[in-house]
Structure formats: structure tokens, C-alpha cells
Structure 1
Amino acid sequence: MTIASKAAPVRFENVSKVFGKDVIAVDNINLNVDAGKLVTLLGPSGCGKTTTLRMIAGLEMASSGRILIGDRDVTKLPATDRDVSMVFQSYALFPHMSVLENVRYGLTFSGFGKEEARARALKGLELVGLKGFDGRLPSELSGGQQQRVAVARALVLEPQVLLFDEPLSNLDAKLRRQVREDIRAIQQDLGLTVVYVTHDQEEALAVSDEIVVMRNAAIAQIGTPRQLYDAPNDRFVADFIGEANLIGCQIVAVDGDVATIEIENYRHDLPARGLGPGSATLAVRPSRIVIGGETGVKASVAKATYVGVRMEYTLTGDFGQVFAVQDNVDTPFEVGSELRMTFAGKGPVLLPDEG
């Protein structure tokens, strides 16, 4: 017996959700999730990502617009008729039931006979690496193992779409890394359509085929992890997808697709991204700041922190304050040191000046 994938695409067409008279939780969004892909809804608290997920599940009804799973309009259908499964942040396991009983619980309400439900539950546990754990109680498992039980319980129902609501938030850092790798591996092996909600940028970058960044009930930008990290559309996306230093600069020349920027007397060439001469914002990742050369922008070391594999520096100057990292831990810069900083040839991104 195998657990098959019936992966289906998800489509939002001008979907809004309003609570009460005027609380807009989701504002006229359009979204396509391809079958067999893992798409993450990412954003700060209150941005609308969880409400969007709950509308796919049928736990919230759209105020306007259409939601389709496959070719079927599910906008007005209850959760029980949508062929989706959801893995919750709290795991929602029954403490008095064994692991096997928890996993087969949903199957007993889906028309499966006792033996087939048992076989499917055992296969689900094997898929998530918990073969032999079927007789244990949830209290006898670690947090990571409990989360895997919750995933197995969702998988055995063979949903068209599998939903995850902040699934790793209750786990410590090491377990989060392991379980997210497990979830990604299962999703890819079975070709599942997964919509995944998190506020953790690193988690989103690690698991996603595509990321939907949300802000103020709307979609700010959609793209692959690399697209969003390397080419954010605006200051919000640049700062939210990984850390970014936002530095004011002047575009002093544009030649084709290449802009020359100036900060103090330091000049740097990079893609113009459609911008012309004038004020702009430079977004620079901490690892793309080069410190300690002979030329560049004047800065001083305000903080220096050793974190084992690297040094972390806070640098200040006329440009404001930036955060930089450096692999050289053997000869670090001391607090109060005066130095020069430049930028790596690849990585810094120009953004429109937002004043």
C-alpha cells in the first residue's frame, strides 16, 4: 500500500477577507500555487498570511473573489468538502491516543476499513521516519517527533493540498532545522502541493519553491527564494527577506543597464534596475560589506561580537549605521577602530528612494 499524491493547484482571484465592518485582513489578492510545489506565505504578524491559509482550508470564508483548488470553485464550500489537510502549530494530537490511533483518526471518518486505515497509518509513520513508534503516547515523544506525527496524520488522507500553519514555532533551533528538512524532503518525494505559513525568513528560504511576501493584507512581492533575496522590489522586502542594510546614495550616472552610485566620495557600479540619476537607496546584505581596505567609505567600529564561525560588526559613519559580518575571527577589528568599507561586486541592490 502506498500513499499517493493527488496534488492540485490553488488559485486566488481577487480575494478579500473583511472582519466586521471595516477590518480588512486580506485585500484583493491574486495568487497561483502550482501543483506539486511548496509555496510559503511570509510576513510579519497581522499581514494576512494566516487568514489566507485559513481561507484555503475553509476555516474562513472569503468576503469576495474566488478560490479554486484544481478546477473546482471551493469559495463557498465548508472545510470538510475541500480535500485539504492542515498541520497546526500546536500539533493538536490527542494525548490519550497512541501514535497509531492519532494518525488513523481521520481515516476512520473517510470510509476506510479498520485494516486499511491501520495499513495507511503505519505507512504514514514510516514516511516521516517514525516506524516502530506506533504504540507510544504523544507524551512519550519529543517535540520534533510529535510534529512528524501531525504531518503523518495529514499525509494519510492524501489531500490535494497540504497546509502548514507555523509548524516549527514550538521547536528549538536544531530541531527546527531537522524538521523543516524532513517536511521539504517528504513534499518533494511525494510531489505534494503545500502552502506553508511562517514569519521566519530563514525557514521560508530553506523550504520554498516560491515565497509570497505579504504586508498590510496585500502581496508585496512573489518570487523564488533567490529572486527575493537578490532582487527585492522595495525596502520592506529587502529588509524582511534576510537582513539588509539600507543606505542612502546618489546615482551619478547610468550607462545602459549599469548605474554608478556615490556615497561620500566612494563610487560603485551595479545594475540600474530601471532607475535614473538622482537619490536612491542601496540595499546591502551584511556579508556583502567589505571592511578594512585602503579605500572606501569612512566608518568606525561601534560593536564587535565573536559568534564562533564569524565576527559581527556594527559600523557607524556619516551614512548612519550598518551591520556587517566577516569570516576572519583571528584578527578582528577592535571597538573604536577607524576603517574603510566598500561593497562586494555582486549582491548590493538599488531600490527607489522612498524618502
Structure 2
Amino acid sequence: MTATISSKAAPVRFEAVTKRFGKDVVAVDAINLHVEAGKLVTLLGPSGCGKTTTLRMIAGLEMASSGRILIGDRDVTKLPATDRDVSMVFQSYALFPHMSVLENVTYGLTFSGFGKAEARSRALAGLDLVGLKGFDARLPSELSGGQQQRVAVARALVLEPQVLLFDEPLSNLDAKLRRQVREDIRAIQQDLGLTVVYVTHDQEEALAVSDEIVVMRNAAIAQIGTPRQLYDTPNDRFVADFIGEANLIACQIVAVEGDMATIEIEGYRHSLPSRGMATGPGTIAVRPSRLLIGADRGIPATVAKATYVGVRMEYTLTGAFGQVFAVHDDVDAPLEPGAKITMSFADKGPVLLPE
């Protein structure tokens, strides 16, 4: 089902935007970014990479040092937060503890000039939308962490912003609740056709909720793509290792024909897209789930560690190639540490990393 884009949803564009703090600290370095209307785009990266500063510049909580920021067709670069049609959901929820759920949700509406009756009507509709119908009289302290997060989402949604911003919204929730609330956020975004910019350092969360992911590193953009594009064809070592988990293995590119290459590791050969590379030394990235253990032909390896985690086995394998991490679904006949095995790659397994 294709979501209908909200009539208020607007694209966001960054044109060579830089943010400096003082003379020496460059938090965001001349980035160009386009968030389409009605899409959920995640800014992903390690601490200090510039993702939260980028989000805060959209909100107007930080001002760009240079470049332009547009929301829809409007240049908002120098506008304060109050003059931008955006709402933000914070990591801490920022609910008023002495106010009821309904009062928390109506708070922003009242300040935006809505009458008491309309503010109440909108707030009740917002609570219904996030699955909290009937919770309006409760205090935040009477809600679970997931319910408090939904109140924060409802409070932002009722303002019908052009852009909805999320700053690490799930970091205070336990693992099971994180999965449930991220599904809720994604469903609401798709149902309402909202433009959402979402910040997280959690790779799994980003893969689960996003139309597109912007991977940031050292104040710049390392790669932009769909979750599958980033997972299957990372641009470099950093993206390969940061999105999901990847084993980086040295190889020799022994042949290139058209857009396909043949690599060799200890006599084992495998064909894969060449990505514009020529014969010679190379590096591949291969996901743990795409390493095949026990094939008739492959790369000699030794099981250094075997860990049972319920639904699968996790193995650390060592060999002349170094050390790799692999997973296997067979939990009933696990390999023992010290076992000698051969290791190969799934057909759609490794990817060459351009140098």
C-alpha cells in the first residue's frame, strides 16, 4: 500500500550547510541533503558525527554558519524555531509531570492560538491515533516508557507540522519496547504521509524504520541510500562496518570482465560485481549471515569460539585471513571450538570495497 503524502508534508533541503562552534570546531561540514516530502529519512552515525546538530538546524535550535536550509520552497536558514513549521520529539520525552496526558498534548496547541474546544478535540484525536484513547486523564508517571513516548509523538503530531523531527526517540526504552514503538512510529508516518527526519546511533533501528539512511562521519555525509543499498553495497570500510556487522577480508582480484570480478582467497575463488575496480589487491566486506560454514570447497578455518544465543549459533573463525564472525541457524549440532572447517561465501555474499 502506498501512503498518501500529507498536504502539509514538505521536503527539506540542505545546500552546502556548515555549522561551526567557535573558530576551531566544525560540527557539520558543507553537507548537501534532500529529504523528500512524505519520507522518513534517518541520520545515522557514531557520537560526535554531526547528526544531532543537523537535526537541530532543521528545527531552528541551531543556526547554520553558512549555506542554505529550505523547508518546502521557503528559505528558513535565518528563521528562529518559532517561525518554522516543524515539531520535535526529544529523547527525554519532555513531558510536564504535573499535567495530565491531555494537558500535555494540548499545551502546544494552546500556544499556537487554538481555542480550548478545538485544542481538546485535536488532542483527543491525536491520542487515539497513537493508541492512547482513554488515557487522557492519567499523569505521565502512571504510564510506561513506551506510552510516555507515544504521548510525546501525539503532542508533536497534533500541530500538523510540515516536518516532524525525532532525536534518539527510543534510547530510554528496553529492547522489546523499542521494537514495538519504532513500528508504531513507522506506521503513523506512513499512514499520515509525514516528512520525518529521525536521528539514531542504532543501526538496526535505522534499517527498520527508514525510507533512506544518511550515514554521517566526522561532520560529513559518508553515504546516502535505502537500507538495502547501504547493507548490500557500502561505499567504504566505515559504512560496511557501521551498517550491520561486516567482516573485512583482504583478497586478490584475479580477473575483471565487464562489471564482474573474480576474487581469490587462499585458492578459493568467488565472482561478484567489480564496482569499477581493476585486478590486484582488494578488500571485501561480507556479512556474518552470508558466510557459509562446512562447504566442500572453501577457505580453511578453525572455530575459535562458539556461542549459543537461542535462535542461532555465533562463531568466531580464524585462519590465514585473520578473524571473522559468522552465524549459523543449526543450534542442534553446533561446532566445537578447535574444529577445522572450510568457509565460503553465499552467491550474494561479499562486496568489493572501493579504495
TM-score (norm 1): 0.98
1:103 to 102, 105, 122: 105
Distance 1:168 1:193 in 2: 19
The residue correspondences of 1:114-263 to structure 2 (distance < 5 A) are: 114-263=116-265
Report if aligned partners of 2:206, 2:213 keep a CA contact under 8 Å in 1: yes
Deviations 1:43-88 (A, max 9, x none): 0000000000000000000000000000000000000000100000
Q: What residue ranges of structure 2 are gaps of 5+ in the alignment?
A: 1-5
Fraction of identical pairs, as percent: 86
2:272 to 264, 270, 295: 270
How much does 1:91 deviate? Answer: 0.1
Distance 1:16 1:215 in 2: 14
TM-score (norm 2): 0.98
Distance 1:352 1:39 in 2: 25
Distance 1:262 1:44 in 2: 33
Report if aligned partners of 2:291, 2:349 keep a CA contact under 8 Å in 1: no
Q: What residue ranges of structure 1 are gaps of 5+ in the alignment?
A: none
- Any idea what SS the aligned residue of 1:236 has? helix
- Any idea what SS the aligned residue of 2:284 has? strand
How much does 1:347 deviate? Answer: 2.5
Distance 1:5 1:212 in 2: 25
Distance 1:66 1:178 in 2: 36
Distance 1:274 1:328 in 2: 37
Give the equivalent residue in structure 2 for 1:59: 61
Distance 2:138 2:247 in 1: 49
Report if aligned partners of 1:5, 1:159 keep a CA contact under 8 Å in 2: no
2:284 to 274, 282, 285: 282
- Any idea what SS the aligned residue of 2:117 has? helix
1:329 aligned partner, one-letter code: V
Distance 2:299 2:119 in 1: 66
Q: Which moved more, 1:257-266 or 1:152-161?
A: 257-266
Report if aligned partners of 1:5, 1:192 keep a CA contact under 8 Å in 2: no
How much does 1:294 deviate? Answer: 2.2
How much does 1:255 deviate? Answer: 1.1
How much does 1:111 deviate? Answer: 1.0
Report if aligned partners of 2:275, 2:354 keep a CA contact under 8 Å in 1: no
1:49 to 48, 51, 55: 51
Distance 2:143 2:189 in 1: 23
Give the equivalent residue in structure 2 for 1:28: 30
Distance 1:15 1:178 in 2: 35
Distance 2:241 2:266 in 1: 23
User: How many equivalent residue pairs?
Assistant: 350
Q: Which moved more, 1:294-303 or 1:84-93?
A: 294-303
Deviations 1:3-29 (A, max 9, x none): x65100000000000001110000000
